A and B are shown apart, each in its own frame.
Chain A
Amino acid sequence: MVLFTEMYLSELINIPVVDRLQEPVGRINDIFVLFGDRFPKVVGLLIKHVSDQKESVLLLSEVDLIGKKFVVTKVIKSRLAFTSPREGEIALVRDIMDKQIVDVDGVKVIRVNDIKLAMVDQEVRLIAVDVGFSGFLRRLGLEKITSWFLKLFHFNLPESLIGWDHVEPLKTDISKGLIAIPHQRASELHPADIAQIVSQVHSAERTAIFDSLSEKTAAEALHELEPHIGARIIQLLDTKKALRILEKMPIDEAADVLGDIPEDRREEFLRLMKVKKSAEIQKLLKHPDETAGGLMTTEFIAVPQTYTVEETINYLRETSPLAETIYYLYVVDENERLIGVLSLRSLIVNACDILVSDIMIKEPITVFPEMSNRIVAEVISKYNLLAVPVIDKDKKIMGIITVDDVIDFMLPPLSRRKREMLG
């Protein structure tokens, strides 16, 4: 077992390594850890040798003591065994220090100022990252003097350590051949939180995060993002994965994302998708973004006026997985013209044999595909609707717009416009 209590990475880097006879061996350049445990285990030290300035790995099993000023090995210099870095090991300075990581609890992206190592379960482990001001000062070599100065005024430097079990590293450099760091904690997050993290990191890392998510989570996270960011991610993903994500998205969201990617790529996706879905999306793409037509989805539930309550409920059971909202059901006549709307509530409280045309609300509120987003939002907000149907000139129902599609337009516009600085 190694003698060690706790230290920061910045304090360890560049300290001398000596053998048991105090003969100098080299200096620590980096520290290797193995991922897998909750707190990753330190497995080796990257040593720059005094003799030839070359680098090689000293396994931790060869080390007797890690102290504040130096590291001592168990045997004499000539009997030390060195290895080279193994695949799957993460170098703390190279891969974690100064990089961005995700704070899963605070849902934000932070930069690692320092890394704390400590003895846990008989092993030297990475236990926390320092993202605060004291880590910042320590790296500059100013921590002691600042804290001494602050003590004169009875202040203490606040520590802001985040436990390693509360963060998620971002894998960035595929070219280095690193193993993928598991993102299981990231996928446990709410899709809206994932979206918030994704909008804060760089494009390569975005793709890495999306790669590691399940298709369902990815689809949900993707539609929480601005369509143009979503479009960039979809283009960078592997085509197969992108297709599966697109298929899992509601049609209107998929159309929004596809609307923002270059024509040739878009057509490729549409060709590869399921025929029915692709046709629906193409229909939606014809409408300009800013209108009711661009906002609507074609996944809604319409029943003929001749249906009874029981028939409608049975129909609902068969089709509901597809529909975006089932709180409203639309009643159409034999020419597919919209003649009424039915709430889920009235469907449940009425007897089985009653015709839907008897309990529906006639002449429902509707919008036209050419209407602007803003007007649609006003209509939905004025009549307190969960969804509003879009009809064409012949009163045929084309699609519906749900309240979550327009909620952005109802919020004060500034909060949306401020999303990106210059882009």
Chain B
Amino acid sequence: MKMFKKWRRLWFFLAVLGPGIITACADNDAGGITTYSVAGSSFGYSLLWMLLITTFCLAVVQEICARMGAVTGKGLSDLIRENFGLRWTFFAMTILLIANIFTLIADFAGIAASLEIFGIVKWISVPIMALIIWYTVLKGSYKIVERIFLVFCLVQFAYVFSGLMARPDWGLALKSTFIPSFSFEPHYLLLFIGIIGTTITPWMQFYIQSSIRDKGINIKQYKYERMEVLFGAFFTDFISFFIIVACAATLYKMGIEINSAKDAAIALGPIAGNFAETLFGLGLFGASTLTASIVSLSSAYAICEAFGWENGINKRFNEAPVFYGLFTVLLGIGAAVVLLPNISLIFVMLLSQEINGFLLPFILVFMILLVNNKKIMGQHVNSRGYNILAWFTVVALIILTIILLVVSFSALLG
């Protein structure tokens, strides 16, 4: 009996412990790993300072959604629909859909790139993985898929050890973390937005709020959940930090530019030696598959909930045609784009994160307006400090996007 009780408590703890950690792991997906790797290999340690800032922003943004989920018991798309009406919901869902399609493309690119390391060409790997994700998620073993690929994600810890063993210049790394530097080079700006876009993505906000609602966490249990969400944000960027450090200490030092997954794997050389490519491949494969499953499923849920269409994997196809249709089409588009001939996988992965970065402010504005609405949140509205950080993220992203557009155009015009 005692033992049984203990297990039950542990189970409850793990159940509550889900959303933050899963989001954290899925956050360092194909686009994430690639963006951080390219940032480290192209600019060494110099982008580390902005990781520090994005960690704060990530924690704030995630906490807002988790809190809204706990207080209202509703998903983010429900709240947008009920408070902004149909037109704004349509706008928000279009933004979410575009961002998620690009995320899916990046994750299929990640699947293709990782399995290429093992000698499987994308013509085989991508269609098969799309089918496997489609089948396993719909046939009810989503939880199993989630657990398996979470284990794969643990491989990312290799970056921590690799970063430590690569003998990085710690003095310079720490200095770059705390003292900002900036450049108006388009490549730098793109990576800058890419890092924000990959760390804080639109889909994560919808996902974390829905999972908190689905777990039935209420505001009393929320203090534990809050810790988990904050820990998850820290954990994501802890790994990201070491990806950049490991790449800076190896690729940047050797002057190698990343053109394929094999190049990026060199950063794991200090720990894994000849196995670096295998290890990199496993980590990339796990994170990409996990995120592809989550993003395709959660987009279908968010959109159907917002518009009141029947949804849920317990429904039959003819009961919820839009739900199943969306899920299937999204996976199909993700896979199909990667199969285009002559497409650069690394380029696709980077691009998707930048697009996520451009689109993020729109979703953030909805969130900030909702969380400050006393009618919805009661006493749990944002504090002033929170709002400053949240608005700071929005304004900074918009300014960066504008700078980037100006710089790119002026570069184009010569």
Chain A: residues with CB nearer than 8 A to chain B? 97-100, 108, 110-113, 131, 136, 139-140, 173, 175-176, 202-204, 228-229, 232, 236, 263, 286, 288, 414-415, 417-423
Contact = CB atoms under 8 A, between A and B. Distances in A.
Contact of A113 (B5, B214, B218, B308): B308
B215 A139 contact: no
Given A418-B140, A418-B314, A131 B308 contact: yes
B140 A202 contact: no
22 contacts: A97-B85, A98-B81, A108-B310, A131-B308, A139-B86, A140-B87, A202-B74, A202-B213, A203-B73, A203-B213, A203-B218, A228-B216, A236-B218, A263-B5, A414-B139, A418-B140, A418-B313, A421-B210, A421-B312, A421-B313, A422-B19, A423-B211
A202 B214 CA distance: 9
A174 to B, nearest CB: 11
B307 interface: yes
Contact of B214 (A131, A173, A420): A420
Interface in B71-85: 72-74, 78, 81-82, 85
Given A98-B81, A100-B308, A113-B308, A421 B86 contact: no
A203 B75 CA distance: 11
A422 B21 CA distance: 13
Given A108-B310, A421-B313, A423-B211, A232 B216 contact: yes
Interface of B, secondary structure class, is helix
Interface string B200-228: 00000000001101111010000000000
Contacts of A97: 85
B307 A136 contact: yes
Contacts of B141: 417
B90 A421 contact: no
A139 B81 CA distance: 12
A232 B82 CA distance: 24
Contacts of A111: 81, 307-308
A414 B144 CA distance: 13
B140 A417 contact: yes
Nearest to B78: A202
B375 interface: yes
B213 to A, nearest CB: 7
Contacts of A419: 314
Contact of A203 (B142, B216, B378): B216
Given A99-B82, A423-B215, 16 more contacts: A112-B308, A139-B85, A140-B86, A202-B72, A203-B213, A204-B73, A228-B216, A286-B1, A288-B4, A421-B297, A421-B301, A421-B312, A421-B313, A422-B19, A422-B142, A422-B214
B11 to A, nearest CB: 11
Nearest to B74: A202
Contacts of A414: 139-140
A113 B86 contact: yes
Residue of A131, A140, A173, A422 with highest tally of chain B CB at under 10 A: A422
Q: Nearest 5 CB-CB pairs, A to B?
A: A111-B308, A423-B214, A203-B73, A418-B140, A139-B86
Contacts of B18: 422
B90 to A, nearest CB: 6
B142 A202 contact: no
A113 B310 CA distance: 14
Given A113-B86, A202-B73, A421 B214 contact: yes
Nearest to A112: B308
A421 B143 CA distance: 9
A175 B375 contact: yes
